[in-house]
Every structure is written in structure tokens, then in C-alpha cells.
Amino acid sequence: MPGPKPKVLFVDDEESILKAFKLNLGRKYSVFIAESGSEGLRIIEEDGPFEVIVSDFSMPGMNGADFLEKVREQNKEVVTILLTGQANFDDLCDVVRRGEIFRLLGKPCSPEALDENLQQALRQYQLICAEKELLEKTLNGAIGAITSLLSAANPLFFGRAQRVKTLAVEVARELKIDHGWRLQVAADFCYLGYLTLPQDSQQNVYDGGELTPEMQKVIVSFPSFVSNLLKDIPRLNKIRKIIEFIQADYEDTVGEFHDERRIASIIRLAQEYDQYETKGCSKGEIFESLRPLETIFLPGSLDALANTRELHGGFMEPSKVTPANLKPGMRLMEELVLSDGKMLAPLGSMVSLSFIQMVQSHLAALGEAVFPETIEVLA
């Protein structure tokens, strides 16, 4: 069974030309048309994304080059083609470079020539997407390995990061928000600032205890600190924006970076939920506390959170396992504390391969006697 037809948007101020595009290319492509740059931007927002966008250069109001430049600001993957009736292509070289335009074609352009260039543009789109997917998987995998190690080294905050990430992904899925890999990376990285806290302050901050004004300023500065830490790493600009928005109320964050603001609000909600759960609050008590704050979160996110907790509640009974029998995916239902009082992991920690390696290292160095005989977990 053939797959969906490639989506192509044509923008031209001449209605007859748009009708010709639809007539000649409609069987092969899913053709959308717009009579101006502003209408094109609206269609992209409502019906996008598109694989290829073809625009006339000479249009009233917003010319094709300016339109395609705006398009590329929003979507780096889309492949763009500019049509022009101007005789001197040399004058448009800077326009092509500035807008990162794939092809510059003269008007009139035959259906055969346009189809050939569309096929080349689609192949370019596939290459761009394949490269992006490879880079994102590589980056996400590397970041996942680093944060997994950090969760073993600093179980308080990076154990929380794992729980917050899992919950935020569930809420985003419930809201049908395509978060990709950005939500997961941002949920991990937003806790990097907590590594700078003195050891004797970490537990109080983790528990949500009373903080001095000086410590409150430090905590508030963490998003900026992490953003600056990541600024020289390629492809993490959107991650930086998400982290910068996490502490902001959603009602105050309208306009640019719409997707990043939504993801940030979901992460903040997951953080709030985990903070209450860590204190031992029941689900009912948590939602009773969160409902009055509903307007500071992404609309619908609190209901989505309630749905995910309802789905996960009441189906699994805790069980007890020995430290040597911990498995990836288990969740600790009690603190893992050694006989000398050292806490290896707080309540709610997710068991990962790095976590298991840490336990095995302690078992080899210190022996089984320093561990509790069993640990309560959710499998």
C-alpha cells in the first residue's frame, strides 16, 4: 500500500499559476496553495510541516525571499525553492544564500522541470531528516549515558531527574505533544546546577525545606547557569530555551518559542508532583495542592497528569528483592541506606544499568553485610 503523498506548499500571488500547480502536480503530491507570504505562514502553522515549499519571488507585501527566510527560521529541515521572472539571476545570489534556498528557478517553469526539481528537493529533505535523526539519536544516547552515571553519583537530584523525565514524557504523550528528544534531555540537564550545592545543603533543598534568601537566589540562578554551560554545544539551543523557561509561569510565556515553553511547563509540573510525592503526600493530597496553581501551567496539563497517575495507580504491588537482584526499570519504594548511614539512593529512584553497576561496586568493595537484606521496589 503506497504511503502518503509528499506535502508541498506553493505560494504565488497569481491565482491562475496556483491552479496550474494543483492541476499538474496534484496526483503526485499533496498540494497546498497560498496567495501571499502571510497566508503561507498561516497554512504552515495549521497544516505543516511540509517537505518542500515553493514560492514566487515578486509578491506584494512580503516577497518570496523574505517569506522563505521566515520559514527557515521556524523549520530548518524544510527544503525551499524560489521562482523568479527576473532575468539577472546574479542579483539574487545573496537572496539565495541568506534564505538557504535549495533551488532558484526561472518563470515560467514547465511542469516537467518543476517536477524534476521537486523530486531532487524531496531527496534532499530525506537526507536532512536522516542526518538529523542520526545526530539526535547519537546526542541523546551520549547524554543519556552521562546522566545515568550522574544519577548513580548524585542519586538525590539525578534520581529525581529520571522520575521527572518519565512523568513529563507521559504527560506530553497524553496531551499529544510531539516532544521528540528535547523534553528528555532538558529534564536531565535542568538539574546540573544542583551539582554545585554543598553536600550538607543538598538534602534540605531536595526535601523542599526552608531556604535562606541567599540560597533561594542560587536556586533561581540555576537555569541561567545551565544555559550558559550548554551554549557552545551544537544543536542544544532549543534545550537551553526549555531550561530557561522552566521556572516561568506559562501564562507569562506567550509568543516566540511556543513549543519550548510548552515543554518547559510540562517539566515544571512533573517537578512539582515529584516534590510532593517525595514528601510522602498521597495522589489526592498532591492534586489538592496543585489545583489552585493550575493557571501557571500549560492548559490541560494538570488533567493530563491526573490521567497518567490514574492509569498507573493501583495495578502494581510493591515487592522485595535483594540488592544483588535489582533490575533495570525497577523503582525504589524506600531509601537505599547502608549500615553506616550513607544513602545510596532516595525513595523513588529508578534502577538503571549505571545504578546496578554502582550497587555491584559497593557490594564488591564492602560486602553484603552493609546493605539491607531486601529493598522494596515496584517492578
Place of cell 533490575: 327
Which residue among 315, 349, 366 closes a domain? Answer: 315
* 67, 176: one domain: no
For the beta carbon of residue 319, count every other beta carbon within 10 angstroms: 13
Q: Which of 358, 326, 353, 321 has the alpha carbon at shortest distance from 342?
A: 358
- In our burial notation (b when 16+ CB lie closer than 10 A, e otherwise), range 35-71 reads bbbebbbebbeeebebbbbbbbbebeebbbbbbbbbb
CA distance 242 to 164: 14
Predicted local distance difference test score (pLDDT) of residue 279: 81
Planar angle of CA 361, 362, 365, nearest 5 degrees: 85
* 163, 297: one domain: yes
Which residue among 315, 333, 365 closes a domain? Answer: 315
Predicted local distance difference test score (pLDDT) of residue 226: 93
Residue 147 located in a structural domain: no
CA distance 330 to 322: 12
Mean pLDDT, the chain cut into blocks of 10 residues (379 residues total): 84 93 92 94 91 92 88 85 73 64 87 93 91 76 70 75 90 86 89 88 87 92 92 84 92 69 94 88 90 92 89 63 90 88 82 85 91 90
* 235, 305: one domain: yes
Contact between 179 and 265 under an 8 Å Cβ cutoff? The reply is no
* 285, 343: one domain: no
Predicted local distance difference test score (pLDDT) of residue 99: 57
3-state secondary structure 179-248: CCCHHHHHHHHCCHHHHHCCHHHHHHHHCCCCCCHHHHHHHHHHHHHHHHHHCCCCCCHHHHHHHHHCCC
Predicted local distance difference test score (pLDDT) of residue 315: 45
- Which residues lie across from 54 on neighbouring strands? 10, 81
* 188, 105: one domain: no
Global pTM value:
0.63
Which residue among 128, 162, 182 closes a domain? Answer: 128
What CATH number did the domain enclosing 195 receive? 1.10.3210.10
CA distance 202 to 16: 68
Residue 353 located in a structural domain: yes
* 213, 343: one domain: no
Q: How many domains does the chain have?
A: 3
Residue 183 located in a structural domain: yes
What CATH number did the domain enclosing 35 receive? 3.40.50.2300
* 100, 188: one domain: no
* 53, 121: one domain: yes
Residue 237 located in a structural domain: yes
* 181, 89: one domain: no
Residue 165 CB partners (closer than 8 Å, separation 6+): 183, 184, 187, 188, 270
Residue 135 located in a structural domain: no
Give the domain range for residue 327: 317-379
Residue 137 located in a structural domain: no
- Integer-rounded Cα Rg, in Å, for the chain is 26
In this structure, what is the dihedral angle of CA atoms 237, 241, 243, 247, given to the nearest 10 degrees?
170
Residue 145 located in a structural domain: no
CA distance 113 to 121: 12
* 182, 322: one domain: no
Predicted local distance difference test score (pLDDT) of residue 314: 45
* 161, 291: one domain: yes
* 88, 186: one domain: no
Residue 349 located in a structural domain: yes
Give SS3 for 147: helix
CA distance 197 to 218: 9
